[in-house]
Structure 1
């Protein structure tokens, strides 16, 4: 597999095969939002969170692999095509991952993680990064055993084993993928092309926001009668998506990529900023999309606890994640975002006391005003600076 590694020192471009690969995850995000909508309780939220973490991990590891290996190399193109097939099967199983398609989901996920790691470990075996991918492969095999065992066990054992599998996989980077007799990797071994990594993560955020736009349009299209309240809820949901886009893309995303590129340890900062801190950002957008659907479908009816938690909780989770991202990259915890999260949390607590008296449209308007206010303050600070 000669020539599979990207030349270091040259800015890597996102290529069409990577965009094609992302289409599978458009479907996965849709499946996750529908899963939460159909099971809007504590158990459903826990299942959706676990599956969201798995989907994100599958996509993120492929992004890291493509940061080192040229996606346009024939071997990587073929690998990405196989990963797309497995990813499509994984996404199709999400709705019944804790039911009849548990094994289907687990096998698809393990094929993605183990298969990709094996290909890259072999392709880079004679290079410094090769050791890291051999260690990653070992950890993914260990996690894969837990995924398959959980699917076969079913019931409570399935949940326990799948949580254990996620803990193993999420702890691995912090532990340097330490394996007895093979050693461990350090973040200094993971130097990344920050421009490519930032661009890939920005595209995933766009995919998540696209799901919000899709849900907004489909919910309006399915409605039999277009009332003033429905039109208002539709408009507010769209403006909320615009506000989240503005908060994320106005300046921070580009400036963060520059800061990571200037870091002495791009692997460490990239791991924290992109691999971990973006989890609440993406999850917040997915939860907000569910809240949009609920507010458009029943704008003036009484709210439920699920409506309150999705309409207000989604934006709060997004803003909290973005605050973490800024703290990790710039070393500053933005007070404005913390105040906005606090306001949304306080409003949510009040609404949960009397949910039936608070219409979803009112919650949606509040969420849009808070996120929009953060976007306006960011723009004013940027102009002043």
Structure 2
């Protein structure tokens, strides 16, 4: 008779303190530092509408791999040997995927697609088998549904990589549309129907902390891009001011998310009886918008550092202003989803950025450096207002208790 590992130990305890982030999870994230850097460089080298669409598709794919792995490590104990080795195997596949990013729409599309599918399907099957061996048929069925959705999207990934050209972008977009719709319909499959939302409960503190760590990872990548370019540039007054503007922009982005929002989100999901619903909307979907804003920030900083005093061009204008606007939108939706009202400071900031985007090309002598400082000024004003109107700790706790269990998603 074959002796198996005690699989039941592969799953996290739900006791207090058992939901902390493990070191192997942080180690796993290193691959995604590289992936986000590759995405930024791809857009920097392809500052066109087509390049932006390619970067968007790959960004969503990278995020989708990471967030699904986060759900898995929310349920399974990453400090146990089999789970740890599963994460290490995913790191290797993630490295293969990341190295394909610069040429994913050229001659490495198949490498990107296969690495992506191996990560998504392989990881999910690992969890299916683990749940079946501990006698958890409902959980195993949930993961089986996920596997079926990934298998359904797989032909679009493979055929897109093989065909190439404009059709590749279309087919990969269809693949992602299929996968993005899956959580919204609770992985409905003919014959076995949809997953009950109650079966997707998570450890809220772990989910919120992992999302916050990815935001730090993305913001850190912005600093890497900025520092690397400045180290190679000639030191002038403009280049120093551009470096300072990039640094200030990164700090402002950090403050918008972490000053109040991240901690409020942790309290909100931890206090709720509907953690699966909140994790699906707030941390699975909405954080994609935030990460997209940070990637654009890194690209904009690169463009400004490279040509701080050149006449402002349309691409630089769109990216520098768009990064802040997209990040404000992401924060607005994130904070609304965790019980805050529609924050007027964020809405006004987005409106001001829209006006700036429209008027900046008309201003004589407007440069990328000047535009960046104006954008920083608008975001700084939002941060200051946000600090002033945010409730005290006692008021925030009361809001959390009143709103967490009434959320409808």
Q: TM-score, normalised by structure 1?
A: 0.96
* 1:360 partnered with 2:368: yes
1:159 maps to: 169
User: Who is 1:182 aligned against?
Assistant: 192
Task: Measure the CA separation in 2 of the matches of 1:267 and 1:170.
Answer: 16
Question: Please, which of 263, 270, 279 is the counterpart of residue 261 of structure 1?
Answer: 270
Note if contact 1:237-1:368 (Cα within 8 Å) is conserved in structure 2.
no
Equivalent residue, structure 1, for 2:16: 10
Instruction: Say whether residues 1:106 and 2:116 are aligned partners.
Output: no
Per the alignment, residue 41 of structure 1 pairs with 48
Question: Secondary structure of 1:132's partner?
Answer: helix
Runs of 5+ unmatched residues, structure 2: 1-6, 396-409
Mean Cα deviation higher: 130-139 or 56-65: 130-139
Alignment of 1:369 with 2:377, yes or no, is yes
SS at match of 2:338: helix
Match of 2:284 among 275, 284, 288: 275
Q: Does 1:345 align with 2:354?
A: yes
* Alpha-carbon separation, structure 1, partners of 2:246 and 2:152: 42
SS at match of 1:173: helix
Moved more, 18-27 or 186-195: 186-195
Range with bigger deviation, 228-237 or 366-375: 366-375
Distance between the aligned counterparts of 1:291 and 1:315, measured in 2? 10
The alignment status of 1:230 with 2:239, answered yes or no, reads: yes
Do structure 1's residue 249 and structure 2's residue 255 form an aligned pair? no
Secondary structure of 1:159's aligned partner:
helix
Equivalent residue in structure 2 for 1:207, among 202, 217, 220: 217
Deviation of 1:382 (Å): 3.9
Q: CA deviation at 1:353?
A: 4.9
How much does 1:219 deviate? 1.3
- Offset at 1:135? 0.7
Secondary structure at 2:126 match in 1 = helix
Structure 2 residue corresponding to 1:149, chosen from 153, 159, 180: 159
Q: 1:211 touches 1:289 (CA, 8 Å); kept in 2?
A: yes
Is the Cα contact below 8 Å between 1:312 and 1:348 reproduced in 2? yes
Residue 256 of structure 1 deviates from its aligned partner by 1.1
Find the aligned partners of 1:168 and 1:276 in 2 and give their Cα distance: 14
Give, in whole Å, the separation in 2 of the partners of 1:343 and 1:382: 21
Check conservation: 2:345, 2:386, Cα contact below 8 A. no
**RMSD of aligned residue pairs (Cα, Å):** 1.4
Q: Distance in 1 between matches of 2:57 and 2:362?
A: 28
Larger deviation: 137-146 or 96-105? 137-146
Map of 2:404 onto structure 1: none
How far apart in 2 are the matches of 1:137 and 1:328? 28
Between the two proteins, the alignment pairs up a number of residues equal to 383
Say if 1:5 and 1:124, in contact at 8 Å, map to a contact too: no
CA distance in 2, matches of 1:115, 1:281: 28
Report what 2:336 is aligned to.
327
1:88 paired residue among 95, 105, 109: 95
Secondary structure class of the residue paired with 1:176 = coil
**Map of 2:345 onto structure 1:** 336
Q: Secondary structure at the match of 1:7?
A: coil
Deviations 1:159-198 (A, max 9, x none): 2211110011000001110112222212211111110001
1:124 counterpart residue number = 131
- Describe the superposition over 1:341-384 as per-residue Cα deviations: whole angstroms up to 9, x where unpaired: 11111101112456x84200111101111122222222223487
304-313 or 181-190, which deviates more = 181-190
| TM-superposition CA deviations, 1:268-313 (whole Å, max 9, x none) | 1111001111111110011011111111121111111111111111
Deviation of the 1:129 alpha carbon: 2.1
Secondary structure of the 2:8 match is coil
Return structure 1 stretches of 4+ with deviation > 3 angstroms.
382-385
Q: Which is worse superposed, 326-335 or 209-218?
A: 326-335
Structure 1, unpaired ranges of 5+ = none
Q: Aligned in 2, Cα 1:353/1:169: closer, same or farther, shift over 3 Å?
A: farther
- SS class of match (2:225): helix
Q: Is the partner of 2:183 in helix, strand or coil?
A: coil
Match of 1:306 in 2: 315
SS in 2 for 1:10: coil
DSSP-derived class of the 2:318 partner: helix
